[in-house]
Chains A and B, each alone.
Chain A
């Protein structure tokens, strides 16, 4: 399934990653601008690749781990470019681009599965379910990255040791705000993804909920994010605590994505999906 479009997208995203890393070291604005456009070009090719796959499969290309990683990378880049419009935070790219390129590299190395798709997957509900979940995850991933940046910067300021990151990272208030908004925007997508998923399950499997491991873990992550959001909005949680919690939540989410697939099994797992 490795198509020329995938390779071009991967190439551009790796190039953008290099650019963003040079940017964080050199702090030259034009380097950022170049990297930004290279990343946008990568996104365009990535989109072409996804559309091409969709036209071949007749379903959202997310049914195996390889495609899932690639789609996740796409969603992360889209969300980053959207957030950048609001926050204009250049250094975030230096964290997001490597993250997306990393996802793409994983996708590149693991084998995909070919073959006809079961008719049960050719449903609009599935497409909506998967795309909303991934957009939500992408927001939460960016919240996770912003939280890591926050903890690095907070450590500099608290410990009064000013490493090379101190001048390069933005202020604590900015990072906290990104963390806050990324979760605020991501959470509704996650919720919508779970609801559409259960509607799809009713339509395809006849039951809304069947305690599949991935369902359970999704619910746990959802509850954790709900708790974090509640504490932020109601109790005024912010700063370090919120950042740590955001990181913990995201790790649970990663476990939901990978662990529930690879370790626990269940009908959501790609091996089960692949039995088509």
Chain B
């Protein structure tokens, strides 16, 4: 029996350092797919690799062998010892794997729940699998269903539209202050996953340019490159705040990096343009009294969490809805999977019938030689439709039993009744 298995790691199971080792590189996908194709144990395979997630989805008839093979492929890819890797991996099988891939595609398993990129990433991973011919009947159907589920979750629930994460909350707040983020400037001080994610979200929402300041200029250059931004030195911060609209701080500094008096002195030169500080650092980087200044808004990490809690209730309701959609679709897919088991028997049944029809027509060919070709054709059609009518009830019966536990019994009986296996029909 074919099993669907998903092995992978995400932002929850694996630390950043480990995920970085497996970060997507130019040709790594193709490499992994080729390795999967060469594995005897793996029938169909798909490989997904993003900044926050690595996922190998495959079907196999030999689960243990296949799992071992995947672990080896991943550990070679990331040059990580297998023991260290396997501690951070999760494994889902069969319908759990189906549910998992539906959840991932719907962006419910993302670090920023509801973020739209993941669906695109899965689509391109699937396209690669198709191109490398590692995808077959089951994965084709599974992936198309996953896209379908993702679309349903997007349109039928509000999970993608409400502020569900800290960086999303920051963007929503920025919109409540600036209305449009188009043409706004962001200053990113320090580094950190959350701050970079917030910056990325702001850019996705139309922010025009981004400057990156860091204690070590080299690091600033490095981060700025990822955002197509401008690296600046730490001493330039006041000058940069003059032009910025949104400042994200995330340094490891123990003292305030931005003081009340520093901002106060800048306000007049900024001609009172609104200024939005997002302080993600712990301990904080921006002096809290900055919030008291006119047209200056300061949110630290706890404030942002407060914004999220505002949406928590609504979000939970929406999550319940999304879960329901996914469950529905998992059940549908499960039904389809079970019909797969019936398919070989039905095919052999039909093959056998067809062989008999052909043999009998051949036998009578001399007797039928006086007939015109048209008449002969009528006889062929007649004999085929009689056979089909006779087989139609048994086939319907088998399909109807496809999700029953007694299925194997009926399959076995059918094969014996029609002596399907003796014919050498190797399905």
Contact = CB atoms under 8 A, between A and B. Distances in A.
Nearest to A238: B272
A153 B294 contact: no
Interface in B248-304: 271-274, 291, 294-295, 297, 299, 303
B133 interface: no
B179 interface: yes
Interface in A185-243: 235-241
Most buried by A among B176, B178, B179, B310: B176
A171 B295 contact: no
A174 B179 contact: yes
Contact of A162 (B178, B295, B307): B307
Given A157-B297, A160-B299, A160-B306, A238 B176 contact: no
Given A160-B303, A173-B274, A240 B295 contact: yes
Interface size classification for chain A: 10 to 19
A55 to B, nearest CB: 45
Nearest to B310: A162
Interface residues of B, number: 20
Contacts of B177: 157, 171-173
Contact of A170 (B179, B274, B307): B179
Contacts, number: 50
A173 B178 CA distance: 5
Nearest to A171: B179
B272 A236 contact: yes
B145 to A, nearest CB: 33
Contact of A241 (B176, B273, B291, B294): B294
Nearest to A239: B295
A157 B306 CA distance: 12
B141 interface: no
B171 to A, nearest CB: 12
Interface in A222-276: 235-241
A95 interface: no
B173 interface: yes
Contacts of A238: 272-274, 295
B310 to A, nearest CB: 5
A262 B271 CA distance: 42
Given A166-B176, A171-B175, A172-B177, A236 B271 contact: yes
A240 B293 CA distance: 10
Contacts of A235: 271-272
Contacts of B294: 239-241
7 contacts: A157-B173, A157-B297, A160-B299, A170-B179, A171-B177, A172-B176, A240-B295
Given A160-B303, A171-B177, 14 more contacts: A157-B173, A157-B297, A170-B179, A172-B176, A172-B177, A172-B178, A172-B179, A173-B177, A174-B179, A236-B271, A237-B272, A238-B273, A239-B272, A239-B274
Interface of A: 153, 157-158, 160, 162, 166, 170-174, 235-241
Closest 10 CB pairs of A and B: A236-B271, A171-B179, A173-B179, A239-B295, A174-B179, A236-B272, A171-B176, A160-B303, A162-B310, A173-B178
